[in-house]
A and B are shown apart, each in its own frame.
Chain A
């Protein structure tokens, strides 16, 4: 089933009746995702679009609709609580789309999830899609196609750009995962790389990083030591000034650390293919997959 999401995903949408939640829920349903429930406190007992039951709590959605994955579209101040609620309800995979979650909230959420063995993707991420099976989040389904390339990225629209190149070149995707652009995220590059490495459907991997932090460097070390499949990588922000937050809360060069150049150097050191432009993904992958 590629990784983490697929035909077996039974999704609950937290914040289903809100503007973002309802819009994207319809898109997910249209793509074929099995949405079994929605959660909006105060609206339990209602039906969304006459087809999806709405509950007051995630626990109810699990008990009565058998949800096994959650996607969160609630406002930033409520996101930490929503993640913890899903974890307490026994949901093993929580995907938080919400942008703007206070980072200190995440320092408390992370140990809470670890204690319960729950995987969080995000926050501030576009979610994940296993083309032809299910999408959880906001990645446009129309640009994806099923195939052997696993993709992991810190970005949203830049991911779409690369996926679009892949699909047009006939390189379909096993699963695409957007891990999010915040300083503290639940799932990092290494988690996704390890899953792709073990996934028989994934033959090659694309990794899209950006400036800020050292996640790309740590991923490169992991790749060098553990990943047997070809990996190609891009880093956005080669022209970004130091000390400025480039849209994403985590995309900031602190002092002289976290630059694109040091990340590219780590990629090179790990023997990865270096994408200087998004479009380079095609030739690099075709070369490596022969």
Chain B
């Protein structure tokens, strides 16, 4: 789960990491009040879960409170890459001497939290990693012992020479590690970490991603989810216990299992079509899940055909067949449905579908190529 910048700032602030004053606003009036309080020139930043906010006009400079109000009214309500902006962050425009990068990620290869720091900050760290990997210092931390004092010092020394800066950064390494561990993060980064002409070290922008698997046992983190910042169909799917990701194609896919769901999308592409979504109905499917899945997919006007690909293991294919029948009775699907079912209770499933005049097949390639052909006919 991605946190907004203002939410990430709150977590860093609680841990004692120094940063510029500032706050989040939902209205131009609030933005104006914050600008007045912090004084001077401010930056008004859209709070959305996409990169490239600046290029899209979602980050603006305001020289006084009146301008801050004006900027906020322009940014609030605008759409960036399909997502509506509901909040802006108002922070002082910083007077910056240097910019660095400090990040902590859950690294798959070492199976540990790994610090990445670089004095080439303020830019896309992936680009730095790809082009000039020697500019990044990496350090894996053993979670049994935590971040050791000399490790924090080594990381700080990779960024600064001035001892006051080094001391401040050393403390921040410990604070960031504690934010990461205590919030079940898979990523916590400060980019940039800046020094000011008057010698301060401050976090300017923050990004935190929480491991979704933490949310069940951490209701305090789960409430940070901002559903207004997500694709509505994906929110609806999550509430129905479905894993759904909207894509741009026209072949709607309903599959059991994440790997098979990806392979189904790939096969749609292989046969010349474009998948409209990723959708995993999960292992223990009940008919209601299938009904919800069909509701979500048919709400997408791009969808020209719906493809079911069910390999019954734990999932009983007759449950899925019952779900399809129930859905077609509840509402008009409006597009053709191609059904591939195989495995547990396959014979019953075929009978259920035949009884309402629907056909099913048990070969994945045949079903996918048929769905792609139907989508093309409908164009």
Contact = CB atoms under 8 A, between A and B. Distances in A.
Chain A bound to chain B: yes
B34 interface: no
A218 B108 CA distance: 12
A139 interface: yes
B280 interface: yes
A210 B68 CA distance: 46
Given A107-B143, A241-B245, A164 B216 contact: no
A72 B314 CA distance: 16
Contact of B343 (A143, A184, A241, A245): A143
Interface in A235-275: 236-241, 244-251, 255-256, 260
A183 interface: yes
Given A76-B216, A108-B143, A244-B245, A160 B343 contact: yes
A215 B358 CA distance: 42
A108 B312 CA distance: 35
Contacts of B247: 239, 241
B275 A157 contact: no
Contacts of A153: 259
A276 to B, nearest CB: 6
A126 B268 CA distance: 25
A159 B342 CA distance: 14
Main secondary structure on chain A at its contact with chain B?
A: loop
A140 B344 contact: yes
A146 to B, nearest CB: 19
A215 B108 CA distance: 9
B261 A278 contact: no
Contacts, number: 162
A100 interface: yes
Contacts of B364: 161, 278-279
A203 to B, nearest CB: 25
A277 B270 contact: yes
B275 A239 contact: yes
B262 A236 contact: yes
B106 interface: yes
B56 interface: no
A77 B269 contact: no
B218 to A, nearest CB: 9
A89 interface: no
Interface string A93-134: 000000011111011101100000000000000100000000
Interface of A: 23, 76-77, 100-104, 106-108, 110-111, 126, 138-140, 143, 153-161, 164, 181, 183-184, 208, 210-211, 213-215, 218, 234, 236-241, 244-251, 255-256, 260, 276-279
Interface of B: 106, 108-109, 111-113, 126, 142-144, 181, 184, 186, 211-214, 216-217, 243, 245, 247, 255-263, 265-270, 275, 278, 280, 283, 311-315, 342-344, 364-365
